[in-house]
């Protein structure tokens, strides 16, 4: 069978205009999980669905080296980091990265995050209104830098927050915003590279290491330290995505506001329901639209010929919203996770497959834990109002967020709450 082709004209503009729905709508029209087109002037296989995800994450068929466009490497990912590695070199460095994702480290991160939220809450309550997207970016930058061992004085906070945000929030923009994103990466890499050089300068490798020191003193497969620039890219691979969780935190607020019945249920204190709510936020709302790879060698799948060196794009958002995998995918319904048979390839908001053996996001555990912390904070520690605003999601933007960035007003510290679960009792000790 021949690969289904709808057209060989370049579809880059169509994809950029509709990054979350281009692949799913074209694939629905064709009735195929894989179709061929041209993106950025190159032959590209667009893939969607569980089986396609399983294929995409098989390293025998796809590699990552040189897969992402230069514009993404110069802004979002950086050059020389995990995203572009393959095989043993990738596994070796990924194991180092995963060694940071422990329960203990997550506990410390959550503790710092809660402290910062409580500190910021006092400022928010003095203001008429605040933009949650902007405020969470500041809270998360301060949290992750404190956790990772990166000094950040008051003067630097604003500047570094802007740089980190610009790397993920403007990477997909056009014109000046995109160039600001490139400049921000360059400045942030210089900043972190200086820290790397400073910490290496006396040649003393500490026995007990902060997270950034784990990266700074990591040795590659040839027993060599990473080049300062590469170490900076990997440290930013830790910092930038944690700050990007601000997108999910805005979506938590959006989901609470749009689904009052969920809010009521969450207030009952059922922790399993709370976790399902968070998974549903990650499934239902858009964030990372897709991931890219290159075909390793010619191969045939379901009679379709994949040509060596061609690009492949797996639609993550489309797979999370595939009606063959998820009933009524466009309804927000946390209860679906009570019975959903979730596996490595059907629920892929942070990529699929195995996090050590492949490119699946190493930060999924931290993401869920920080989302849980923020959800508890919304429920049990703060009261606020949601004034009239445009909460429609900007689907053509990367990342997609509500038009208004989610504004809240009349923020106050909550003083009365129901003490039903262990986590709430812990919270009550604060007062």
Phi, psi of 322 (to 5 degrees): -75, 120
Residue with tokens 């995505």: 241
Q: How far is the CB of 389 from ligand HEM (least distance, A)?
A: 23
d(CA 283, CA 364): 13
Q: How far is the CB of 204 from ligand HEM (least distance, A)?
A: 26
362 contacts ligand HEM (rule: CB under 6 A): yes
75 contacts ligand HEM (rule: CB under 6 A): no
Q: How far is the CB of 141 from ligand HEM (least distance, A)?
A: 13
Among residues 45, 7, 18, 82, which one has the least CA distance to residue 355? 82
Which residue's Cβ has the minimum distance to ligand HEM? 363
350 contacts ligand HEM (rule: CB under 6 A): yes
**Beta pairing partners, 63:** 294
d(CA 398, CA 382): 29
Question: Stretches 14-22, 25-33, 349-357, 416-424: which one binds ligand HEM (CB under 6 A)?
Answer: 349-357
Polymer length in residues for the chain: 431
Size of interface with ligand HEM, in residues (CB under 6 A): 25
Name residues contacting ligand HEM, limited to 90-109 (CB under 6 A).
Answer: 94, 97
Q: How far is the CB of 89 from ligand HEM (least distance, A)?
A: 11
317 contacts ligand HEM (rule: CB under 6 A): no
361 contacts ligand HEM (rule: CB under 6 A): yes
Sheet holding 129-131: strands in order across? 129-131, 407-413, 382-385
Of the residues 23, 55, 82, 216, which one makes contact with ligand HEM according to CB under 6 A: 82
351 contacts ligand HEM (rule: CB under 6 A): yes
Q: How far is the CB of 138 from ligand HEM (least distance, A)?
A: 16
Kindly tell me which of 4 and 149 has the beta carbon lying closer to ligand HEM.
149
Kindly tell me which of 281 and 411 has the beta carbon lying closer to ligand HEM.
281
Of the residues 132, 150, 165, 244, which one makes contact with ligand HEM according to CB under 6 A: 244
What are 52's two structure tokens? 């396609």
19 contacts ligand HEM (rule: CB under 6 A): no
What are 248's two structure tokens? 């999910």
Contact in structure between 280 and 334 (CB atoms under 8 Å): yes
Kindly tell me which of 44 and 367 has the beta carbon lying closer to ligand HEM.
367
Q: How far is the CB of 46 from ligand HEM (least distance, A)?
A: 15
Kindly tell me which of 405 and 427 has the beta carbon lying closer to ligand HEM.
405
What are 165's two structure tokens? 């945000």
| DSSP one-letter string for 232-286 | HHHHHHHHHHHHHHHHHHHHHHHHHHH-HHHHHHHTTT-HHHHHHHHHHHHHHS-
49 contacts ligand HEM (rule: CB under 6 A): no
Q: How far is the CB of 125 from ligand HEM (least distance, A)?
A: 27
377 contacts ligand HEM (rule: CB under 6 A): no
Helix (H) or strand (E) holding 112: helix 103-124
Q: Please state, as a whole number, how many other Cβ atoms lie within 10 Å of the Cβ of residue 78.
A: 25
What are 185's two structure tokens? 């990466």
164 contacts ligand HEM (rule: CB under 6 A): no
Among residues 313, 365, 367, 324, which one has the least CA distance to residue 346? 324
Q: Beta strand 42-47 with 311-315: parallel, antiparallel or unpaired?
A: parallel
Of the residues 359, 374, 400, 405, which one makes contact with ligand HEM according to CB under 6 A: 359
CA 222 to each of CA 10, 70, 218, 226: distance values in angstroms, whole numbers, following the listed order: 42, 28, 11, 10
241 contacts ligand HEM (rule: CB under 6 A): yes
**Beta pairing partners, 36:** 5, 45
117 contacts ligand HEM (rule: CB under 6 A): no
d(CA 129, CA 407): 7
Of the residues 24, 27, 83, 141, which one makes contact with ligand HEM according to CB under 6 A: 83
Half-sphere exposure (Cβ direction) of 276: Cα atoms closer than 13 Å: 19
Kindly tell me which of 89 and 305 has the beta carbon lying closer to ligand HEM.
89
291 contacts ligand HEM (rule: CB under 6 A): yes
34 contacts ligand HEM (rule: CB under 6 A): no
Is omega for the bond preceding 399 within 30 degrees of 0, making it cis? yes
Contacts 24+ apart (CB under 8 A), 24-31: 24/48, 24/315, 24/317, 24/318, 24/321, 24/322, 27/315, 27/318, 30/4, 30/6
168 contacts ligand HEM (rule: CB under 6 A): no
345 contacts ligand HEM (rule: CB under 6 A): no
Q: How far is the CB of 189 from ligand HEM (least distance, A)?
A: 15
Sign of CA dihedral 303, 309, 313, 314: positive
Q: How far is the CB of 181 from ligand HEM (least distance, A)?
A: 17
Residue ranges binding ligand HEM (CB under 6 A) = 82-83, 94, 97, 237-238, 241-242, 244-245, 248, 287-288, 291, 316, 349-351, 359-363, 366-367
């Amino acid at each position: 069978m021949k690969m289904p082709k709808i057209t060989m004209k370049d579809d880059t503009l169509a994809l950029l205009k509709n990054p979350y729905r281009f692949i799913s709508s074209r694939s629905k029209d064709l009735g195929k999980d894989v179709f061929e087109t041209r993106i950025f002037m190159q032959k590209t296989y667009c893939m969607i669905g569980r089986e396609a995800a399983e294929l995409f994450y098989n390293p025998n068929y796809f590699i990552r080296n040189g897969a992402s466009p230069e514009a993404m490497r110069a802004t979002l990912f950086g050059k020389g980091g995990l995203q572009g590695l393959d095989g043993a070199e990738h596994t070796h460095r990924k194991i180092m990265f995963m060694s940071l994702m422990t329960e203990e480290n997550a506990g410390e991160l959550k503790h710092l995050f809660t402290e910062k939220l409580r500190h910021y809450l006092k400022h928010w309550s003095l203001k008429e209104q605040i933009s949650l997207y902007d405020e969470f970016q500041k809270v998360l930058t301060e949290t992750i830098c404190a956790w990772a061992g990166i000094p950040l004085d008051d003067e630097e906070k604003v500047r570094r927050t802007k740089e980190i945000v610009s790397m993920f929030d403007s990477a997909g923009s056009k014109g000046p915003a995109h160039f600001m994103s490139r400049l921000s990466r360059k400045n942030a890499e210089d900043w972190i590279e200086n820290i790397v050089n400073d910490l290496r300068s006396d040649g003393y490798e500490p026995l007990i290491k902060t997270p950034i020191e784990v990266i700074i003193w990591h040795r590659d497969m040839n027993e060599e330290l990473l080049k300062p620039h590469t170490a900076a890219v990997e440290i930013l691979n830790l910092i930038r995505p944690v700050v990007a969780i601000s997108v999910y935190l805005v979506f938590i607020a959006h989901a609470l506001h749009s689904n009052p019945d969920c809010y009521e249920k969450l207030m009952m204190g059922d922790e399993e329901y709370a976790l399902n709510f968070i998974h549903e936020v990650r499934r239902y709302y858009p964030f990372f639209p897709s991931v890219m790879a290159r075909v390793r060698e010619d191969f045939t799948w379901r009679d379709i010929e994949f040509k060596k060196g061609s690009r492949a794009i797996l639609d993550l958002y489309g797979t999370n919203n595939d009606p063959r995998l998820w009933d009524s995918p466009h309804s927000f319904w946390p209860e679906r996770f009570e019975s959903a048979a979730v596996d490595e390839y059907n629920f892929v908001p942070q990529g699929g497959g195995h996090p050590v053996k492949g490119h699946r996001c190493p930060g999924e555990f931290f993401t869920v834990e920080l989302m849980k912390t923020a959800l508890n904070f919304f429920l049990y520690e703060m009261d606020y109002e949601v004034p009239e605003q445009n909460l429609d999601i900007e689907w053509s933007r990367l990342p997609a967020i509500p038009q208004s960035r989610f504004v809240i007003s009349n923020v106050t510290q909550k003083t009365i709450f129901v003490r039903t679960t262990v986590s709430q009792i812990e919270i009550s000790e604060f007062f």
